[in-house]
Amino acid sequence: MSLHFLRRVLSRLSLGFLALAAFAAPTASARVVEGLTVESKILGHPVRYSVYLPPDYDTSERSYPVVYLLHGFSDDETAWVQLGEIQQVADHGIARGELAPMILVMPDGGRSWYINSFDGSVRYEDFFFGEFIPAVEGRFRIRANRYNRAMAGLSMGGYGSLYYCMKHPDMFVSCAALSAGIEDEDMLLGKDQKGWDNLFAVPYGAGLAGRDRLTRHVKETSVLDIARSLDKEALSSVHYYLDFGDKDYLGKGNAELHIIFLERGIAHEARMRDGGHNWTYWRTGIGDALAFISGDFHRR
């Protein structure tokens, strides 16, 4: 029997053993779970949410950092999965080592703008911190501390992410806001009545016109006003990422926040890319936003 023949036989046996091993131990895969709920006494109804679990979640015992990923106005907890293709983005980033394995939690925010309403009828902020975060972090293996917790979102969800991180800087390490729903006083005053009532009836009240729109509640929940007045140390404790398109009608408000951060010396990243206020823009931006957050997870 020749040495060459023996080598061929051993080579084929080795390939066969490798194939059997691969069959016996399949690669772990990520998954998205939809239709989950948190019962809310504060809101008086269950709140639905979706969750992305990283590839090794079901095969490990480790705990993971978490990103609360908020949808925009008129969408729901399925938007980032169905329209944002978030599983593909996260799977790709984790596989390439660009993202730390992380859990993504996507709640239904309705049309609340993620804040407590002017009349107390919808207390979404109270629900989010008093009921939602405890329920989610009690159900999944999450590293429940600020160094492993971040916010991200688009449009209304970008506003909500910024608002939560500015109001509760002790809770989060990072905030990534895409096309955030930031409107200054001129933009609020210039909005037609139908537009105002459609967007802001829940958080601020319908029927407001002129300077009557600039209520105390509007000012107290203005991301721009909070960024100007919040203690610099508290504001700087969260790492901010802003991303908005050069054709986005909300670009002015986002640019104003960027300028406030510059003037106050707040460390952040700001990007203006080619694009508008749409899913094409957000799908191409969320990967970089999560990579920004992942960098903060890695540094801690």
Q: What is the band of 28 on the pLDDT scale with cuts at 50, 70, 90?
A: low
Find out whether 107 and 47 touch, Cβ atoms under 8 Å. Answer: yes
Higher pLDDT, 27 or 165: 165
Q: Identify the pLDDT of residue 8.
A: 52
Specify the number of domains making up the chain: 1
The answer to whether residue 30 scores a pLDDT higher than 80 is yes
Element (H, E) at 45: strand 45-53
CATH code (residue 46): 3.40.50.1820
In a domain, 215, yes or no: yes
In a domain, 24, yes or no: no
**Best CA proximity match to 32, nearest among 47, 18, 52, 13:** 52
In a domain, 14, yes or no: no
* Conformational region of residue 98, where left means phi above 0, alpha means psi within -120 to 50, and beta covers everything else: alpha
**Best CA proximity match to 128, nearest among 65, 205, 42, 44:** 42
Find out whether 161 and 63 touch, Cβ atoms under 8 Å. Answer: no
The answer to whether residue 7 scores a pLDDT higher than 70 is no
Q: Identify the pLDDT of residue 300.
A: 55
In a domain, 197, yes or no: yes
d(CA 281, CA 249): 13
In a domain, 110, yes or no: yes
Sign of the torsion angle spanned by Cα atoms 210, 216, 221, 224: positive
d(CA 105, CA 70): 8
d(CA 103, CA 90): 10
d(CA 280, CA 226): 30
Residue 170 sits in which domain range?
A: 30-299
pLDDT in tens, 60-111: 999 999 999 999 999 999 999 999 999 999 999 999 999 999 999 999 999 9
Task: Report residue 167 as tokens.
Answer: 């109001």
Task: Report residue 68 as tokens.
Answer: 């609360």
The answer to whether residue 45 scores a pLDDT higher than 80 is yes
In a domain, 223, yes or no: yes
* AA letter at 101: P
Hey, how many other C-beta atoms are within 10 angstroms of the C-beta on 207? Answer: 10
In a domain, 13, yes or no: no
In a domain, 203, yes or no: yes
pLDDT in tens, 92-105: 999 999 999 999 99
Q: What is the band of 298 on the pLDDT scale with cuts at 50, 70, 90?
A: confident
pLDDT in tens, 244-292: 999 999 999 999 999 999 999 999 999 999 999 999 999 999 999 999 9
Residue 127's contacts (CB-CB under 8 Å, 6 or more residues apart) are 40, 42, 43, 47
